[in-house]
Structure 1
Amino acid sequence: MKPPSKLLSRSVKPSLDRIDLMILDALRDHGRITYQALSERVGLSARPCLERVRRLEQKGVIRGYTALIEPSALGHDIIALAGISMRDPSTGTRQRLERALTANPAVIELQVVNGEYDYIARIVAPTLAAYEALTEAYLADPGFGIGRIHTTFVLKTLKDFEGFPVPDRQD
């Protein structure tokens, strides 16, 4: 996925009108929709519709486009949710760990959280042994400052993440 040209701050919410929301809803559900079909769906001519999409991309509202791929088709038979607790929460240690986790292709999602854990990571692996080797490597390196990793394995996915919900807004 291509990074947005301008990252949105969580505190700055762009003004989105009814048509913007319709565009976002259509693109979330049908990312390969043509601009012509999109413009018909939202009730605009093609050119203004394209301009709105580009504006949403430039503002960072649309962060990119991607295909949703079945994990097992790529050999990712293990999906784990890992709660990571820091032993050493110093800034340098956290930065080192965050760089290592975000650079690791097996870590497909990483959140900084509050509560019992400092991070929640979604990690994929071909086998339990591969997952264990990955987590043991992070635990064994004192430079990462990890106190413990609590793992919950996904047994069955009932609903995949397929995008954030777009609210209905009637202007």
Structure 2
Amino acid sequence: MSISKKLDLMDLKILKELSANGRLNNNQLAEKVGLSPSPCWQRVKRLENEGYIEGYVALLNSEKLGISELVIIEVTLERHDDDILARFERAMEALPEVLEVYLTTGEYDFQLKVAVKGTKGYEAFLREKLYKIPGIRHSRSSFILRCFKKSHSVQPNTEILNS
């Protein structure tokens, strides 16, 4: 990875456009941000190499795939030693239903975002997978009823330049 350069307004424009539509080809992106294609491509490559752009994904519709429920599960571990934490993290990585895992402060150690096929899928996930992971002391779940806002990336803005 190369040494990171300070972001300028053009970099932020590129990041904003790509976060809205990662399928833009270089010519389309260059036109949207007001650059010629070659400098635009060089900037995108630099932003990728410096880690500002972590990757590109396709967002799948979970309901069309039959995965109708999202659940937030808060988990408390029995202990917080390195071995328990490492085993829990490996277990989470291996479960395809687990979309996101956050180590948190407060009453619970982790928050999980889990996608399941209805309440039967949720019960099966708990009994057959989550509760078989050693080191879990307690969990609490909340079903997501409706999503009011969904962002898959932070949105760059000019305030970044001033900090």
Q: Does the 8 A contact of 2:76 with 2:136 survive in 1?
A: yes
Letter paired with 1:146: I
Which secondary structure does the structure 1 equivalent of 2:140 belong to? strand
Q: Distance in 2 between matches of 1:13 and 1:111?
A: 27
Q: Does 1:162 align with 2:158?
A: no
Q: Which residue of 2 aligns with 1:16?
A: 7
Partner of 1:139 in structure 2?
Answer: 131
Alignment RMSD, CA only? 2.0
**Residue 118 of structure 2 corresponds to residue 127 of structure 1:** yes
Name the counterpart of 2:76: 85
Distance 1:93 1:69, change over 3 A: same
Matched, 1:118 2:109: yes
Aligned-partner SS, 1:64: coil
After superposing on structure 2, the runs of 4+ consecutive aligned residues of structure 1 that deviate more than 6 Å are none
Corresponding residue for residue 48 of structure 1 = 39
Distance in 2 of aligned mates of 1:85 and 1:13: 37
Q: Post-superposition shift, 1:31?
A: 1.4
Give aligned-pair identity as a percent.
32
Residues 19-74 of structure 1 deviation map (CA, whole Å, 9 limit, x = unaligned): 11000001011211121121122222101100110111111110111122221011
Q: Which moved more, 1:35-44 or 1:109-118?
A: 35-44
CA distance in 2, matches of 1:62, 1:112: 23
One-letter amino acid of the counterpart of residue 15, structure 1? K
Of 1, 18, 21 in structure 2, the residue corresponding to residue 27 of structure 1 is 18
Which structure 1 segments of 5+ residues have no match? 1-5, 7-11
Distance 1:63 1:14 in 2: 16
How many residue pairs match? The answer is 159
Deviations 1:100-148 (A, max 9, x none): 101211000111111111111100011212212222332244x2x1111
Q: 1:93 to 1:154 in 2, by over 3 A?
A: same
Pair 1:13–1:57, CA change in 2 (3 A): closer
